[in-house]
Amino acid sequence: MSNMREDYIMRMIQMIGEVILAALKLRKTGHLVEADQTLSDALFTIMPDHADLIDMVDEKTAVGLLGNAHLVEVYVELLLERAEIKFALDAPDQAEQLQGRALRVFIISIRHEPSLSPRGYLIWGRLTGLELRLLLSESEYGDWLNIQKILESNPIHSP
């Protein structure tokens, strides 16, 4: 990857991190609707040209649009934060949809590019704590178990 592209991706990751932090502060102060909107708008930071598409397309296409494992990790993190806000807003169905999408995007990303950054390992740990059997189909759950075995027995790292 070129240095310019890598710098761009790192700036996008930093910007999304700042948006997530702002949303967490809003959530902590009880401004749940504003936190939800802040996280929903965060996609425009990652992919200004395709932000409206990322949530509308299937998970495999979303991974392709993001085009980089680090951006996929940030997107998964964003989905998980949005799910937390939805739970706080008493919208469990929407929260579970976001969690399921986060899991499927993560699985597809690992299948496509079998590497994880340290942040990816934190996200994997967070995903492992979800109700996997309720959120994934039987085949997706099987894929998850295979990935989990690989990660536990032979950690994979990105440079």
DSSP string, 45-86: HH-TTTHHHHTTS-HHHHHHHH-SHHHHHHHHHHHHHHHHHH
Decide: 24 and 81 in contact? Cβ < 8 Å: yes
| Inside any domain, residue 12 | yes
Decide: 118 and 145 in contact? Cβ < 8 Å: no
Q: Which domain holds residue 24?
A: 3-153
pLDDT of residue 127: 93
| Inside any domain, residue 91 | yes
List, for residues 113-135, the tens digit of each pLDDT value: 877 888 888 898 899 999 999 99
| Inside any domain, residue 9 | yes
| Inside any domain, residue 61 | yes
pLDDT of residue 62: 92
Global pTM reads 0.87
Q: Report d(CA 135, CA 96) in Å as an integer.
A: 7
The four Cα atoms 24, 103, 49, 57 give a dihedral, to 10 degrees, of -130
List, for residues 67-109, the tens digit of each pLDDT value: 888 889 989 999 999 999 999 999 999 999 999 999 999 999 9
The tally of domains found in the chain comes to 1
Can you say how many angstroms the Cα of residue 135 is from the centroid of all Cα atoms in its chain?
15
| Inside any domain, residue 56 | yes
| Inside any domain, residue 158 | no
| Inside any domain, residue 96 | yes
Q: What is the mean pLDDT of residues 53-66?
A: 90
| Inside any domain, residue 95 | yes
